[in-house]
Amino acid sequence: MAIDSNPVGSRSLPDDCLLDPRIYTDPAIFELELDHIFSRGWLWLGVICEAQSPGQFFRNEIGGVPVIVCRAEDGKLRGFVDACGICGESIAHMQWGNGRLLQCAESHAVYDLTGTAVEGAGGSLEPIRVENYLGFLFAALKPTASLRDYLGVQADWWERLTVIRTDIEWELVTAWMTPSDTNWKEFMQPGDGYHVQSLHKIFCKYMTPKAGFYDVLQHVSPRYGHIIFPYPPPNYEYFRANLWGGVHSPEEINLPTVARNPKGWGGWVGDTFPNVIYAVRNEWLLWLQLVMPRAVDRTMVYNKVYCRRGLSDWQKRLIQREEDIWTYPMGLNGEDDWANFERQHTSLRGETLQRLVIARYYGEDPNAAEIRVAQDAEAGYRAYFRRWRRCLEQEE
């Protein structure tokens, strides 16, 4: 099924980058997204510590379809649609759990963690593909490619920027859900890379120009879930020396991202996956999890986690200063920034999309920003929606 030419059409986006609001509100387009993006793509569901030992399981969703990821007594990692084979009701009654069996409260059918019915005539649970990649658990309902091929350039960055260690024990520190009464693509604008210089002014003023963030490649594509930031910045030594006073930085993580720094190098790879859509009312859940290498001495600064072990007094004062400066959990500072964010959010939920006026990186050619978008909002939108449209027009 091809998308209606009216919402996006064969024409290119207008110069002012105003997008037709039906892209965000049309139920037919939403159904196409569920089939062409969510059902066929590999989506991030959790981290390995959530199903590390036999008996562990957890729940999540893929495009509105509830799923279970579990590890059976045979040690194998598996995934299933969370639906009883008799009545279709959920069989997992908690977000995380540990046990040998799952039971449907409606039909009383009982299943083990291999998906086999051991009591009742429910048959086996419907399996889904689940794979572990560098500690991240991905799943797909109808995958069209292997996980490694699907991740593509993102996997290249992960493998290039992270040091794979087998001796790190990852721990789930905390998790929370943030419901948003809006379409899943709404997160594209206030969460994309070009928001930094308008919302994080203090960081930009003191760190960004010299740390090299303007030169970081940012891959904008719904194929990879949403937006992908490869970190660390090119000039990480400057970043480390100025932020942490020359001391090897403590581990820091902000999920969905992961940092591994066995030698003090903070490789920070950021990913935001649209892994949960639960209603055709264009609502979504932002499901965030914080994981860290297991340690005894940590402190939490809003959505960041720092290991305090070995910190100097200067570093501790800096953390306190961040607590004072970053006045909202999302890291917004000051009334002007908060108003800016609200304006972005409102414009994306309204009947028309306003174009954000954000300064371009000097000398950048906006028409050449197919993948390299830097701080250019308009070029980023064009690149993103070109890919989005191609995804929806793909045949089976």
Report residues of the chain scoring pLDDT below 50. 1-18, 161-166, 187-195, 197-199, 201-240, 242-282, 295-311, 315, 318-378, 380
User: Could you give the CA distance from residue 301 to residue 252 in angstroms, rounded to a whole number?
Assistant: 10
Does the pTM surpass 0.85? The reply is no
Q: How much is the pLDDT for 129?
A: 94
- For the chain, list the domains and their CATH numbers: 43-136 (2.102.10.10), 152-393 (no CATH)
Q: How much is the pLDDT for 23?
A: 65
The model's pLDDT over 75-119, given as tens digits with 9 standing for 90+, comes to 999 999 999 989 999 999 888 899 999 999 889 899 999 999 987
The answer for 303, left when phi > 0, alpha when psi is -120 to 50, beta otherwise, is alpha
Q: How much is the pLDDT for 327?
A: 32
Q: How much is the pLDDT for 265?
A: 24
Q: How much is the pLDDT for 35?
A: 79
The answer for 108, left when phi > 0, alpha when psi is -120 to 50, beta otherwise, is left
